[in-house]
Amino acid sequence: MSDHESLLAPVWKKGKAYRKGYTTGSCATAAAKVACLMLLRQQIIHQVEITTPAGISLTLNVESPSVTGEHQAVAAIRKDGGDDVDATHGMLIFARVHLRDDADIVIHGGEGIGVVTKPGVGLPVGVAAINKTPRHTIEQAVRDVIGPARGVDIEIFAPEGVERAKQTYNGRLGIEGGISIIGTTGIVTPMSEESWKRSLSIELEQKKAMGIDKVVLVPGNYGERFVTQQLTISPERVVTMSNFVGFMLQEAERLEFQHVVLAGHLGKLIKVAAGVFHTHSHIADARMETLITHLALMGMDQKRLQAIYDCNTTEEAMGIIEECGMIAVYDRIASVIVGRIEQMFRYAKKPLQCDVILFSMDNQLLGSNRHPYDIVREMK
């Protein structure tokens, strides 16, 4: 199979084929190209072909095409994420083009396209959230149509963008008022974690650009609430890592953060104590086994170890641990997690300083590798 064919081929996961799709960047490129074609030809066009950054040719249906005189045309392409349905799947991405008096191509965002309000996302503050690769592909596709002597203003807009953006990470990244026009390959690969990881990494880059050199990594909203409400750490220092513990630690090391704290529920972070740096259950689940190992090393008797083994969750096991006065296991596990992280960066030029804080579902601080007061104080 050629590289081109492999890019078009479906993705197979657990015996099922998943169809690929195309990005908002491909939609914007196609809409801008066909709008320019309609403007120059003064006729409605219903299909358009583009070449994505990955080198794949796409033939896309055009929706809501219109030509207004000799100076303006509008067209839309419907986003299709394939079998990777996301917040932008099924929405229309429009392009409105106007001829200019010079030979420049100027791209800007309209209704439903977010605006960058914080540094660190690869675009200047104040501009539309149309990423560099889509900007390049739009300009290239349009230039091929209009030639070197003409210029156009291109407005990318998405009437559903404001509402759809509420389902994305844009707000956390400082992109306000709509969606982003993104895509490095132009193709959406279903079941892919790469775009998710990239959005989390951008948040780290943003903190660094803001001059923040100490961050708290949390698995999700629950961890963020615990850190900000119970530990009173500023939300500006908190970054979501989801299940990608190892990846986000590597990104923190790459960006040269001075101090990183992992704060999360015992049931999530205990996996790292077993050397599992991707904490989704489909990768590995050694929660109870790890907990039992450390309790056994601390001298817990066989009967109670069996009772903990029979628990469905670490939360359920906490009652038994408290009953027998072995809550020191939480500090021990936190220290083991730190040890795993230190081992991960043992060859780094500048080892990452890392601490760990564990909590329960009822917002109780369970344990940490060193005194939590010192950790929190250093984060403020």
List the single range of 94-103, 188-197, 318-327 with lowest mean pLDDT: 188-197
Q: Do 127 and 215 have their domain in common?
A: no
Contacts of 299 (CB under 8 A, 6+ apart): none
Q: Which residue has the higher pLDDT, 361 or 85?
A: 361
Beta bridge partners of 261: 216, 355
> Which of 188, 217, 250 is where one domain is finished?
188
Q: Do 140 and 155 have their domain in common?
A: yes
pLDDT in tens, 316-332: 999 999 999 999 999 99
Taking residues 246-265, report their average pLDDT: 95
For residue 120, give both structure tokens.
């660190």
Quick one: residue 152, left, alpha or beta (phi over 0 = left, psi -120 to 50 = alpha)?
Answer: beta
Half-sphere exposure of 230 (CA within 13 A, CB side): 19
Q: Which residue has the higher pLDDT, 352 or 3?
A: 352
Q: Which residue has the higher pLDDT, 121 or 64?
A: 64
Q: Which amino acid is at 354?
A: C
Could you tell me the pLDDT band of residue 190, with boundaries at 50, 70 and 90? Answer: low
Could you tell me the pLDDT band of residue 3, with boundaries at 50, 70 and 90? Answer: very low
- Block residue for tokens 């906490």: 318
pLDDT at position 17: 73
For residue 281, give both structure tokens.
């259950």
Q: What is the pTM of this model?
A: 0.70
For residue 231, give both structure tokens.
């530990």
Question: Strands 105-109 and 11-13: what pairing?
Answer: unpaired
pLDDT in tens, 289-313: 999 999 999 999 999 999 999 988 8
Q: Do 183 and 284 have their domain in common?
A: no
CB atoms closer than 10 angstroms to residue 302: 8
In the predicted structure, residue 349 carries a pLDDT above the cut 90: no
d(CA 200, CA 71): 41
Q: Do 107 and 15 have their domain in common?
A: yes
Could you tell me the pLDDT band of residue 347, with boundaries at 50, 70 and 90? Answer: confident
Question: Strands 238-240 and 214-218: what pairing?
Answer: parallel
Q: Do 181 and 211 have their domain in common?
A: no
| Neighbour-count burial of 159, counting CB atoms closer than 10 A to its CB (0-12 exposed, 13-18 middle, 19+ buried) | middle
d(CA 343, CA 275): 10
Q: Which residue has the higher pLDDT, 9 or 255?
A: 255
In the predicted structure, residue 189 carries a pLDDT above the cut 90: no
Q: Do 7 and 117 have their domain in common?
A: yes
DSSP, residue by residue, 281-344: TTT---HHHHHHHHHHHTT--HHHHHHHHT-SSHHHHHHHHHHTT-THHHHHHHHHHHHHHHHH
pLDDT in tens, 118-134: 887 788 999 999 999 99
Q: Do 204 and 348 have their domain in common?
A: yes
In the predicted structure, residue 7 carries a pLDDT above the cut 50: no
pLDDT in tens, 167-183: 988 888 889 999 999 88
| Neighbour-count burial of 336, counting CB atoms closer than 10 A to its CB (0-12 exposed, 13-18 middle, 19+ buried) | buried
Q: Do 141 and 30 have their domain in common?
A: yes
Mean residue pLDDT of the chain comes to 91
Q: Do 363 and 214 have their domain in common?
A: yes
d(CA 166, CA 25): 19
Count of domains observed in the chain:
2
List the single range of 17-26, 204-213, 237-246 with lowest mean pLDDT: 17-26
Query: Residue 47: which domain range?
Result: 3-188
| Neighbour-count burial of 245, counting CB atoms closer than 10 A to its CB (0-12 exposed, 13-18 middle, 19+ buried) | buried
Q: Do 364 and 312 have their domain in common?
A: yes
Which long-range contacts does 371-378 make (Cβ < 8 Å, 24+ apart)? 372/231, 375/261, 376/231, 376/232, 376/233, 378/214, 378/259
Could you tell me the pLDDT band of residue 69, with boundaries at 50, 70 and 90? Answer: confident
Beta bridge partners of 365: 359
Q: Do 25 and 153 have their domain in common?
A: yes
In the predicted structure, residue 5 carries a pLDDT above the cut 60: no
Q: Do 166 and 141 have their domain in common?
A: yes
Helix count (H) and strand count (E) of the chain? 13, 18
